[in-house]
Amino acid sequence: MAESVISLSDFKSDASQWLKQLQEDRNAVVLTQNGRGSAVVQSYESFRRQQDSLAMLKLMAQGEADIREGRAVPQVEAFASVRSKLAQRGG
C-alpha cells in the first residue's frame, strides 16, 4: 500500500480533496507535525478491511494455540457432538 506523507497544515487546507482521493485510491496519508509523523488518515472502507484482516489473524493465532494446547477435536467428533445435542433437544 503506497502512502502519501504531508503536513497537517497542508491536509487541513485541502481536506475535502484529500478525503476524496482516499476514497478513490484507498492509500493511507501520513500526517506530519514539525516534520515528524503524527497520524495516519485512511478511508473508512480501507480501515474496515484492515480491521477484518486483523480479526482473522487473531482467530488463526487462537486456533493454532488451541491445537498446540490440545484444545481441539477432529471435525467429525465436533459435528457428531453437535448433532447429538440437537437430537437431545428435539426429542
pLDDT tens digits along 60-84: 999 999 999 999 999 999 999 999 9
Band of pLDDT at residue 2, cut at 50, 70 and 90: low
What CATH number is associated with residue 19? 3.40.1620.10
Q: Which domain holds residue 20?
A: 3-42
> What's the rounded Cα separation, in Å, for the pair 91 and 85?
10
What total number of domains does the chain contain? Answer: 2
Find cell 480479526 and name the residue: 55
> For position 36, what pLDDT does the model report?
96
| 55, 77: one domain | yes
| 57, 76: one domain | yes
| 64, 36: one domain | no
pLDDT tens digits along 19-48: 999 998 878 999 999 999 999 999 999 999
Q: What is the pTM of this model?
A: 0.69
Residue 31 has which C-alpha cell?
Answer: 500526517
- Chain length of the chain: 91
